[in-house]
Structure formats: structure tokens, C-alpha cells
Amino acid sequence: MIERNEIEEFFKSLQDDICAQLEQTDGKATFQEDLWQHKTGGGGRTRLIQHGDILEKGGVNFSAVEGPLGEDMKKALKINEDADFFATGVSIVQHPRNPMVPIIHMNVRYFELSNGTYWFGGGIDLTPHYINEAQAKWFHEQLKAVCDKHGVDFYQTFKERADDYFYLPHRDETRGVGGIFFDHLNEKSLNLSKSQIFDFVKDVGNVFAPTYCHLMTINKDKAYTQKNKEWQFLRRGRYVEFNLVWDRGTKFGLVTGGRTESILMSLPPQANWEYCFEPEAGSEEQKTLDALKKGIDWLA
């Protein structure tokens, strides 16, 4: 049986490995670490990278917290009984300097209660400022390869969930080209053992760094204009809207007394909002907006 300390240690090592690969690919900036303690027990390692050659701002956070379920947490989890909880995971968002390099997010997590209930969750999604169909296809191919190792229907199921989750209803647009999203994975929701589910989560975590480092490398030297930067700031604004209005992880962290600075590390260093902005017809900006739809088969 997989014990919680084994899961925690994997997430710690995953944070170390991803930070090392991102630093090497960026070539300039290094992660600065901020250790913190949670009020009910445990804590985390917030790591922030800024002012790099490729990465303008990014975070790779690890946490492992525990304690009694408070009323806010019970409400968020829709749990009525008293219990102790343990939660651990890694959360990542990277905001690049060059608008031709996409934003990326990943989260892998584990949650358990003292009554024996547990589940895994997580996902990866890509948010290009300008959608490149070939790169979107390649990105989804990496995720499908991971999913196919563990379940024949994993990719399609979790891809559809990502389309539904990473979506701004008030804009009627997806956050980007999607990816995969999964939650509440355990023996009750899947015909797999806890060890097998953990193996899937580990593979999802391990595919992040080589995938994003490749996208950083092939896009980092592309030329861009001031118009491209202005569009990047507007797209970052959409990213902020999702994280602050719709993201369940952000809401859960804030209402349950999580560390504010670590939770909000996902926000970009600069974002703009322009009233009633309309891109020029036929422009690359318009083409990107037109592709921010649910249900696109990026593998086709």
C-alpha cells in the first residue's frame, strides 16, 4: 500500500527536478526559495523564478499540510463529518517574456482524510498567446502518450474535462488549447489500485519539464513587436480572470487559510485590460480568439 510519506517525497523530488530543468533551459535566472508553515500543521516550499532570459515570472510550489477539517474546508469539500486531513502536491505556472512562448500550468496533488478516504487530482494545460496548431498538436501528443500507458480512455476523458474546466463562461472562450484535467481519482472512481493511480500521477508530473522546456527552446528567439507584447498583456488579463474568478484551487486555498503569496504566485507580473477590445479582422490575434473553443481535436 502506498503511504502518504512516499507520495510527499515524490512531490518534493518532482519540484527539485522541474526547477533544475527550467533553470538550465532559461540559462540566466534561478529559483528563490521561501519556506513556510501552515497554521494547522505542515508547510511548504514556494519557489519563484523572475527576470530570466525566457521566464519573466514563474513558480514551482510544493506543499504538505495537515490538521483538522475546519468549517470552511468542510463546506468546500462538501463533507459534514469531523476528520483530520492531509494534502500534498506540486503546483506550477510559468509566464514567459517572449509572447511567442506559451504560458503553462501544471498541478498534481493528493488528499486524504483520517476516515480512509483519499483521492489524487491534477492536470496540465497550455495557454499560448498566439496559437500554433503544430505545437498544440505536439503538446497533446505528449499528454496522450502518458495517458495511454495507464488507460485507453484516459486521454479523451481527461481532455474533455480540461476543456470544461479551463473555460471562461463569461467570455465563452477556453483559457488556451487545453490539456488534461482529473480529480477525485481512487479505487472507487477507477478500476485501478492506489499504486497504479499514483504511477499515472507520477508520469503526468514527469512529462511536464521536458515538454515545456522544448516549447521554451523552440520559441524563445522568435522576433516580436510591441503589438505582440500588448496582445500578450491582454491574454494575461484573461488568465488572471480565470484564476481569480473560476479556479477552484485558488478559491479553496484562500477560503481554507492557505498561504496567500503562494496561492497567487500564478498571476503574471503584468496584465492589461482594454475596454471592448476587438482584434483586427483576419489578424493573428483574431485567429487565436477563434480557436479558443471547447471540443477542438488538436491531434487531428
Which residue, 21, 236, 49, 54, is CA-closest to 127?
236
* Residue 20 CA: distances (Å) to CA of 23, 58, 122, 201: 5, 13, 21, 20
Question: Rg of the chain's alpha carbons, rounded to an integer?
Answer: 19
DSSP three-state, residue 90: strand
Strand-strand pairing, 103-113 and 42-50: unpaired
Distance CA 250, CA 101 (A): 24
CB neighbours of residue 53 within 10 Å: 16
Q: Find the helix or strand (DSSP H, E) in which 178 lies.
A: strand 178-185
DSSP three-state, residue 185: strand
Q: Does the annotation count 51 as an active-site position?
A: no
The catalytic residue among 38, 51, 95, 105 is 105
Q: What DSSP designation does 156 have?
A: H
Residue 197 cell numbers, joined: 493511480
Q: Exposed, middle or buried, 172 (CB in 10 Å: 0-12/13-18/19+)?
A: exposed
Q: Which amino acid is at 135?
A: Q
Cα 282 to the center of its chain, rounded Å: 31
- DSSP bridge partners of 45: 35, 62
Catalytic residues: 105
